[in-house]
Chain A
């Protein structure tokens, strides 16, 4: 074998190696059937080109490009600053809908960022390739810390301004707690009193009897009796002293009524 052939083989082997390396890293993906989607954010939270895209936790693509787009207007009228171009395998694409959510999450022991897509509802329209959708901006830790500092400062200012009132309130609450404690102790002692226990027992018996009685009253027979009593009272309504007097006179009975 001549020198040229050996050198050529060396070149070919190196080239194949580089292509395989690129394929392993996902730089060349000639056999993948993918669709592209654009997700709009105002804060990407550390997402990078090459970061994984997952649907229901399964890696199905990667971030291809991150584009600064100041003042980009979405169809909803909202202005966004960042457009993240992602590629998604067609198998997973089928599960995505117009109401799918796009969240930036953390994974792994070193906390690498990835884009998680939640599948939308079956009734919603499917996505179209190249469509621009609004993603959920991840919480900004720096802003949270800044807001916490602000809140803590305001709380401190409030305490400094109302130091007397706060101390008074705390003292009052302390007294209230002491009183409540005393009351609870008293109640504890009282609950051990024999007379009170008897009274409570009687009340319990009475209430159970009443319950039994009211239960009977609510039965069909009770309701029937109640109706009869009601009818009787209604019929007796016209029976006053004059009517009784007249009745007795007709019968020849002399009596003094009422």
Chain B
């Protein structure tokens, strides 16, 4: 199995001197260019959350006063970071896997080796740092935009005042929640290039191999994000 060796090399490469040019280029690709898609999608997820919560609360206790508080908490602890990073896994992870697999198929990786350039240092480390940092930034922004979308929809659809939304948020949400969301985003983001590069480096040959690497990368990243989310939620539950 190449996975333990791959993980060890990725880990070591992370602490070598960072290729800053590549890092900023990747961070722009991950953070800046993914921003509209991520914010658009999470806004709708937040609105759906509010509407569904209100429907169920009204059905159960004939009162939707607690919906903003619950929804804000759910958005900050789960929705914001998870949805943002799942979208990143689809957009960025697939791109990385395809890019690296194509480089392998076209023997560009061999060329790097001939030039004496460590492929992990050159390809994986900047992407991993950029994706981890981008994941954290996007998670924070996604949470805030989600909250704003929830605020709007609760006023428009549920008829709640801004004061009642904020009061509900005050009752449930703590300032540390946004930092815990950022930590989640950081961890989720870091896994995407690691998995994508693994499937890129060790996939099958040919065009079919590139396609398989892309698919497997997205699936594995998404599953890993869900598992890490569970682990982090369990760890964070000790701090709430």
| Interface residue ranges, A against B (CB under 8 Å) | 3-4, 6-7, 9-11, 13-14, 17-18, 20-22, 24-27, 50, 52, 108-110, 112
A-B contact count (CB 8 A): 57
User: B66 to A109, Cβ gap below 8 A?
Assistant: yes
User: A17 to B140, Cβ gap below 8 A?
Assistant: yes
CA distance A18 to B147 in the complex (A): 12
Taking CB atoms, residues of chain A closer than 8 Å to B63 are 109
Which of the 9-residue segments B6-14, B22-30, B110-118, B207-215 touches chain A? B22-30
User: B178 to A21, Cβ gap below 8 A?
Assistant: yes
Q: Which residue of B lies closest to A13 (CB)?
A: B141
Pick 5 A–B contacts, CB within 8 A, sort by A: A14-B140, A18-B140, A24-B166, A25-B170, A109-B63
CA distance A10 to B69 in the complex (A): 28
Q: How many Å from the CB of A65 to the closest CB on chain B? A: 15
Q: Which residue of A lies closest to B140 (CB)?
A: A14
Q: Which residue of A lies closest to B179 (CB)?
A: A18
Q: How large is the interface on B (under 10, 10 to 19, 20 to 34, 35 or more residues)?
A: 20 to 34
Q: B31 at interface (Cβ–Cβ under 8 A)? A: yes
User: B175 to A21, Cβ gap below 8 A?
Assistant: yes
CA distance A109 to B70 in the complex (A): 13
Q: Assuming A3-B25, A14-B141, A17-B144, is B169 touching A25 (CB within 8 A)?
A: yes
Taking CB atoms, residues of chain A closer than 8 Å to B174 are 25, 50
Taking CB atoms, residues of chain B closer than 8 Å to A9 are 32
User: A10 to B137, Cβ gap below 8 A?
Assistant: yes
CA distance A25 to B140 in the complex (A): 15
B18-59 residues with Cβ-Cβ distance < 8 A to A are 24-25, 27-28, 31-32, 35
Q: B226 at interface (Cβ–Cβ under 8 A)? A: no
User: A112 to B28, Cβ gap below 8 A?
Assistant: no
User: A110 to B27, Cβ gap below 8 A?
Assistant: no
Q: How many Å from the CB of A202 to the closest CB on chain B? A: 69
User: A10 to B35, Cβ gap below 8 A?
Assistant: yes
Taking CB atoms, residues of chain B closer than 8 Å to A50 are 170, 174
Q: Which residue of B lies closest to A109 (CB)?
A: B65
Q: Which residue of A lies closest to B167 (CB)?
A: A108
Grouping DSSP codes into helix (H, G, I), strand (E, B) and loop, the A interface class, with mixed when no group exceeds half, is helix
Q: B171 at interface (Cβ–Cβ under 8 A)? A: yes
User: A112 to B171, Cβ gap below 8 A?
Assistant: yes
Complex A-B, nearest 5 residue pairs according to Cβ-Cβ distance, in ascending order: A3-B28, A3-B24, A17-B144, A6-B32, A27-B175
Q: How many Å from the CB of A66 to the closest CB on chain B? A: 15
Taking CB atoms, residues of chain B closer than 8 Å to A26 are 170
CA distance A22 to B176 in the complex (A): 9
Q: B173 at interface (Cβ–Cβ under 8 A)? A: yes
Taking CB atoms, residues of chain A closer than 8 Å to B69 are 110
CA distance A26 to B35 in the complex (A): 28
Q: How many Å from the CB of B62 to the closest CB on chain A? A: 12
Taking CB atoms, residues of chain B closer than 8 Å to A108 are 167, 171
User: B141 to A3, Cβ gap below 8 A?
Assistant: no
Q: How many Å from the CB of B67 to the closest CB on chain A? A: 11
CA distance A26 to B32 in the complex (A): 30
CA distance A225 to B198 in the complex (A): 129
CA distance A21 to B31 in the complex (A): 20
User: A110 to B175, Cβ gap below 8 A?
Assistant: no
User: A25 to B32, Cβ gap below 8 A?
Assistant: no
Q: How many Å from the CB of B151 to the closest CB on chain A? A: 10
CA distance A10 to B144 in the complex (A): 14
Taking CB atoms, residues of chain B closer than 8 Å to A24 are 166, 169
Residue among A21, A22, A27, A112 facing the most chain B CB atoms (10 A cut-off): A21
Taking CB atoms, residues of chain A closer than 8 Å to B147 are 21
